[in-house]
Amino acid sequence: MSGLPGGGTSSERLSRLLALVPYLQRHQGVPLDEAARTFGVSERQLVDDLDLVFVSGLPGYTPADLIEVDYEGGTITIDNADTIARPLRLDVGEASALLVALRTLADVPGLADRDALNRAIAKLERAASDLDVRAGRVGVEVEAEDRVVPSVRRAVTGGRRLHLRYYVPGRDEVTERDVDPIRLLVVDGRSYLEAWCRRVDDVRLFRLDRVVDLHETGDPAEVPERVQLRDADEGLFRPSHTDLLVTFELGQGAHWVADYYPCESVTENGGVVRATLRTSDTSWVRRLALRLGGKAQVVDPPELVEQIRADARAALAAYEKVPAP
């Protein structure tokens, strides 16, 4: 954070400004030097702060929307600042959402400072009591994951191998595999197990509400040292360099595909967007190609192009068998 001459960092100045307005509301006519001593800054810095407050206000920024400050004669008066002068408060939705997020975070294993998090939760619950958002009324439920998460957490902390029966929606089948747990992730309200999958000898991410069954095998987990954990801030789902490279040509009305899916390259020529992406499962690509119809087509690899043509022919044949009304 960059420093400000005589006024600390920009975040410190913002905190001071947010406190300054309510203070001046309660102390109309306070001497300039007294206010400067109260906030621990020089009179010159306080004047700079007051000049900034003078051009602040509600959206619209007409003279009627801006805060009025007068410090001529060595005393400070302020007007038209009722909105910002009110204490900052969370509404019910904001307080509930924050409590849910904190409680979800508290369930993540390996948290460095869980005591600090618990203190923050308790403090927020006390502060939110006026909003009728109480500890017993705010909980975290992660659908059917509840029966799976405790077992996965024990395997992660204990370093024990798991056997999973895992539903793969893209193929509409249940697969079986042994995995060596690495860590438990909670993203957007869903729990995921990041693990070394011994079936494919690679790191895989398993959504826990898709785990049909699991049990410990009795063997210790053996995660290769070369494994690199994904950065959840960059997105959970990133294709592997060994996945199949698929090329789309997207016409008008299908350009959104290049924005919605993680693409390796995107070029445009004459209104047609050419996008390439990688995938380990082409079933969703085939469905997407059929859904897009004439707005787009897959042009590479050739074997996938032929599969999509076969899918289209089968779909048309099925329509021909439907009797006319």
Residue partners of 173: CB distance under 8 A and separation at least 6 = 167
Of 64, 71, 22, residue with least CA distance to 48 = 71
List 88's β-bridge partners, or say none. Answer: none
CATH number of this structure's domain 3-85, picked from the four choices 1.10.10, 2.30.29, 1.10.3470, 2.40.360: 1.10.10
User: How confident is the model at residue 105, as a pLDDT?
Assistant: 67
User: How confident is the model at residue 3, as a pLDDT?
Assistant: 40
Q: Confirm whether 3-85 and 144-234 share one CATH topology.
A: no
Residue partners of 89: CB distance under 8 A and separation at least 6 = none
Check residue 53 and report its DSSP letter.
H
Q: What is the pTM of this model?
A: 0.40
Helix (H, G, I), strand (E, B) or coil at 219: strand
Q: Where are the domains of the chain?
A: 3-85, 92-140, 144-234, 244-320
Helix (H) or strand (E) holding 186: strand 173-187
User: Residue 157's CB: how many other CB atoms inside 10 A?
Assistant: 12
Of 199, 204, 200, residue with least CA distance to 229 = 204
User: How confident is the model at residue 5, as a pLDDT?
Assistant: 45
Check residue 38 and report its DSSP letter.
H
- Whose structure tokens read 């010159």? 44
The rounded percent of the chain whose pLDDT value lies above 70 is 72
Q: How far is the C-alpha of 190 from the C-alpha of 146, rounded, in Å?
A: 11
User: How confident is the model at residue 4, as a pLDDT?
Assistant: 45
Check residue 66 and report its DSSP letter.
B
Q: What digits encode the pLDDT tens for the residues 198-212?
A: 988 888 888 888 888
The rounded percent of the chain whose pLDDT value lies above 90 is 23
Architecture of the structural domain at 144-234: Roll (2.30)
Q: How far is the C-alpha of 271 from the C-alpha of 171, rounded, in Å?
A: 34
Q: Which pLDDT band, with edges at 50, 70 and 90, does 214 fall under?
A: very high
pLDDT higher at 249 or 240: 249
